[in-house]
Structure 1
Amino acid sequence: MNATTSTAGSTWRDGAVKTIGRVLLTLMIATNVIVLAPAAVFCVITGQYTPIIVSIAFSGVCWWFLLRTLRALAEKRRAKKALMSATQN
Structure 2
Amino acid sequence: MQFQLPAKKAGSSLYTEIEQKVSATDIFAGELLIPEPLLKEIYSKFYLPSLKTLAKIFHVSTNVMAARLDDLSMPYFKDAELTFY
TM-score between the two structures when normalised by the length of structure 1: 0.35
**Pair member with larger Rg:** 1
Q: Which has the higher helix share?
A: 1
TM-score (norm 2): 0.36
